[in-house]
Structure 1
């Protein structure tokens, strides 16, 4: 089993960074489990735009790409390869300004490709990644489980809709650490409880595939 663990936060003290680190500390790499990591903030990831369409057009015509176009196509292919090779995808990400970090959005843009993660049909998009599992680990300082705040939560909801809906992956687990900024007197307890859940999921994944 190939497990891909994606880090979408470059803050050393970020809670989702701690979730990422905790998962890696508790999953046991064996002959049956191969663990690889993908640190989005350490990757060269140009944004999608006209450069992508220019590159695709040039590739069809056999024309040499410019430096930016080549960087973009290389980054896109690297992301696709990582997803293609994984049986389980683990994503540790924060909620920033109600949504996901731009680096994570770019990664999603790279892999959300018709014919790769989904295909178009007369009745709408059809998922092509139903054989893969995904574990979503989200940190958010506010209490977005509160009904009054829930409409503003566009990070976990988005990732669930993309990976579980558009791509068709089985959302195996979700771990949310929230409210540590809104409730500073309870912050350590909230964070530790969440990290224990992360550790349990990682250990359980190792146990199931031992």
Structure 2
């Protein structure tokens, strides 16, 4: 199995929980010699935000025109992400909930692959056809508050967004989802909450085949 792990938090594990999840997942999955692991750290990569430049670059490429330095860089970075994503049998996203949503750097990664002609297309009647339904997705998320209750769930736009994008629109199978929540809201139980969550993260890594 080719596994792509997308790391989306550059805070140290001593200060944040999703980096702890990343460390636990990587440590466990590296014990499995049947899994080939590639890590893409969105904070280590120079990923320009998606905008008009990429559309201009596509037009120029079709016309065999020379790209500007900025256009060439954006196209190169998007191509790198797409090649890694396409080569992976499974993709694990490790990310926090920040201000009710995902980090902007992770949003850029999603923007690079959430594209007609790459992960989906439309037929002549306008129906969506999903192009990578065989790909497996793992979502590993940390959020300091409790958002799993009925009244809070609509406010959570990180896991909901990732689940809807990859599982819904792109039609990929979400094979595991581990959420650690409430450790900041109830500091007295933080150690227990995090420990239980990290064991579930390790189990998700062990279940990969």
Give your verdict on TM over 0.5.
yes
Gaps of 5+ in 1: none
CA deviation profile, 1:33-67 (whole Å, cap 9, x unmatched): 21111101000100111111111111111111111
Equivalenced residues, count:
205
Find the aligned partners of 1:29 and 1:60 in 2 and give their Cα distance. Answer: 43
The alignment's TM-score, normalised by the length of structure 1, stands at: 0.94
Q: Identify the match of residue 164 of structure 1 among 143, 163, 167.
A: 167
1:159-198 correspondence runs (5 A): 159-198=162-201
Aligned to 1:146: 149
Runs of 4+, deviation exceeding 6 Å: none
Deviations 1:137-189 (A, max 9, x none): 01111100111211110000000011111111110000000001111111111
> How many Å apart are 1:124 and its aligned residue?
3.7
Native 8 Å contact 1:8 1:91 kept in 2: yes
1:123 CA displacement: 5.0
1:109 maps to what in 2? Answer: 111
> Which structure 2 residue ranges, 5 or more long, are not aligned?
none
Q: Which residue of 1 aligns with 2:120?
A: 118
Does the Cα contact within 8 Å between 1:127 and 1:165 map onto a contact in 2? no
Quote the offset at 1:120 in angstroms: 1.6
Say which SS state the counterpart of residue 180 (structure 1) adopts. Answer: coil
